[in-house]
Amino acid sequence: MKKLLLKSMLLVSHEEKKALEIKFDPDVTLIQGANDTGKSSVIKTLFWTFGAEPPKIHRSWKAADIASLVEFKIDEDKYFIYRHRRSFSLFSGGGHLLGSYESVTNELGPALAKLFGFNLKITNREGIQETPPPAYMLLPFYIDQDKGWSGTWCSFNRLGQYANWKQTLTSYFLGLRPDQWYALNAKIKLLDEEKNEPLRQLKSIESIEFKAIQELSSVDFNIDLSEFKKDVDKLVLKCNELEKNQAQYKQKISEARTEEVRLKAQIEIVIHTREELDSDYAYAQSSLGSSVDCPTCGAEYENSFSERFAIAQDAETCTDLLSSLREDLAQVKKHIASIEDELKKDFLRQSEIEEILSRKRGKLKVKDLIDIEGKKSLLEHLKTEAKEIKAYLGELERHQAEAKESADKFDDPERRKTIVETYGERFEVNARKLQVTGLSEHVFKNVNASIDESGSDLPRAVLAYYFAVVSLIVEGKDGVNFPLVIDAPNQQEQDKGNLYNILDFIVKNRPKNSQLVVGLVDDANVYFPGKRILLNKKYAALESGEYLELSKKIRHFEVAHMSGASE
C-alpha cells in the first residue's frame, strides 16, 4: 500500500491580499481555534484542492477567491497539487508541471487514481466504466464538520452520479476482493463495451445482406440452376435458423414470465408483512403500556423504546426490500419486452424469406443479369466482412473468458467473511470504548449498514465505524493510505466526560502508520502529540502580513499552471 503524507498547504487570496501556510506534522496535526476562526474552512480547502467538494463552504471564504497549493509525498516521491477556481495542476517535487486539468471526472480523477494506485472503475449511468472522481478516493479518510457526523460515507458533495456506489466503494476499500480483482473486472467490462460496435456492425451487415437477397429474388438469384439451388438452400437454412431462434426466445420469455410471477408473489408477501409490522408498531405505540402480559403463560414483557424501535427497523427493512424487488420486477418486464421485440423481428424476417421462396422465376433481362452479378459481389464482400467481425468478437470473448478465469482466482469467499468479521469486531470494540451501547447487531455484520443511533450517541457511533474501516484500509496491501482528517468531533453537545473520551479515543486509537489531522475548539485537556496550529482571529484565518512572502512562494506554480507548460 502506498502512503500519502501531507507536508504543507499554502492558501493565497490575491483578492484580499492575505495568505496562510500550514506545515503538517508527519504524525499528528491539531488545528485549534474558537468558532468562526476559519479552521473548518482551512480543512475543507485541503480536500477541495484534491478535487473533492465539501458539503458547505462559507460565502466569505468563496468570496476570497483562494488559490491553494498542497505539498505531499507518496512513499518517497514528492508532489504538489495546485487549484484555483475550477482548474488544477499537478507538479513533481522539483516544481515541474506534470499536467493541468479542467475536468475533475475525466482528467484529474484518472491522473490522481494512477498516482494513488486506485484501480476501481465504476459504471456510470450511461453504462460506461470510468475512474470515479477524487471524492470517492478520499471518502473513508474525512469526517466533515457539517455533514460527516450524520452518517457514513457522506462528507462530500455530488456523490449521486453512480448507482449503488457505496456498496462498491466499501467492498473495494475494505479489500473484500483484492485490487487485482477490480482491475480484471474493469477489463472484463471494458471488453464488453468494445463488443458493442462490432455487434452493431454485424447486425447492419445482416440487414444489408437480407435486403440484397430480397432484391435478387424479384428476378432470380442466378441463371445457373445449381447456383440458384444453393441460394434457395441458403434461404431455407436461414429460415430454419430463425425458427430455432424463435424457440429459444419463447423459452427465455417463459423463464422470464416465471421470474415475473415469482417477484410479484414476493412483493405481495413483503407488502403484507410490512402492513402487519406497521399495525404492530401502531398498536405498541398507542395501545400498550410500558409492559405486556402474555395471555398464555402470564409472563411480563417490556414494551420499551428498543422493542418498538426493532419493529420500526424491521418495517424499514421491508420497505428497502420492497423497493429492491420492484426494481427487479421492472428489469424483468423490460427484459421480456426486449425478447418479445426480437421475436417479432424474427417472425417478420421468416415471413419475408418464405415469401421469397414462394415466388416464381420470371424472365431475365440483361439489366437483371448485371444487377444479379453486382449484388452477388456485394454479398460475397459482406460475407467476408462478417467473418472478420465474428473472428474479432471471438478474440474479445476469449480475452474476457481469460480475464474472468483470472478474476475468479482472486475472489475468495473465506477472505471476505474474515474481513467482515474483523470489521464487526473492531466496530463493536470501538463502540464500547466510546460508550455507545445501543447499536443493533446487524450494523456489526454489514459494512454498508446505516447507523441507527440519534442524539449525542450518533457522532460517537460514526467515529467508531470510521476507525474500524480505516484500520482495515491501512492494513491492506492495495490503494493509498491517505491521512485521516477529523473536523469538529464535539458534535451534538457532548458532555465533558464524552468529549474527553472522544478525543482520547482519537489519539490512542489512530491507525498505525497513518497521519492524523484534527480540527477542534476545545481539547478537553487531552494530550495531542505532534504539532498544534492555533487560529486566533475571528473571521480571519488568512493573514495580510503573510501575503507578500507567500504570494511569491506560490507564483512559480501559478505561472506554470496558466501557461500549461513546465519551466
What is the DSSP track for 535-550?
E-STT--SBGGGHHHH
Q: pLDDT tens-digit profile of 449-491?
A: 788 788 889 999 999 999 999 999 998 877 789 999 999 999 9
Beta strands in 114-216 (DSSP E): 122-123, 129-130, 142-143
d(CA 38, CA 17): 17
DSSP string, 393-436: HHHHHHHHHHHHHHHHHH--HHHHHHHHHHHHHHHHHHHHHTT-
Burial 91-110 (b: 16+ CB within 10 A, else e): beeeeebeebbeebbebbbb
Burial 226-242 (b: 16+ CB within 10 A, else e): eeeeebeeebeebbeeb
How far is 238 from 206, CA to CA, in rounded Å?
A: 11
- Please give the pLDDT value at position 180: 77
CB 29 within 8 A of CB 514: no
Asked whether the beta carbons of 194 and 188 are under 8 A apart, the reply is no
Using one digit for the tens of pLDDT, what is the confidence trace for 176-186?
Answer: 887 778 778 87
Q: Which residues pair with 18 in a beta bridge?
A: 13
**pLDDT tens string 530-567:** 999 999 898 889 999 999 999 999 999 999 998 874 44
Pairing of strands 2-13, 67-74: antiparallel
Phi, psi of 220 (to 5 degrees): 165, 165
Predicted pLDDT at 303: 46
Q: What is the pLDDT of residue 5?
A: 96
**Local mean pLDDT, 10-residue blocks, the chain (567 residues):** 93 95 97 93 97 92 96 96 96 95 94 92 81 94 94 90 86 84 79 84 81 62 53 71 81 86 84 75 58 50 51 64 76 86 80 63 45 66 84 88 84 88 95 92 86 87 95 84 95 90 95 92 94 91 93 94 67
| Domain annotation for the chain: domains and CATH numbers | 2-177+412-563 (3.40.50.300)
**Amino acid, res. 28:** V
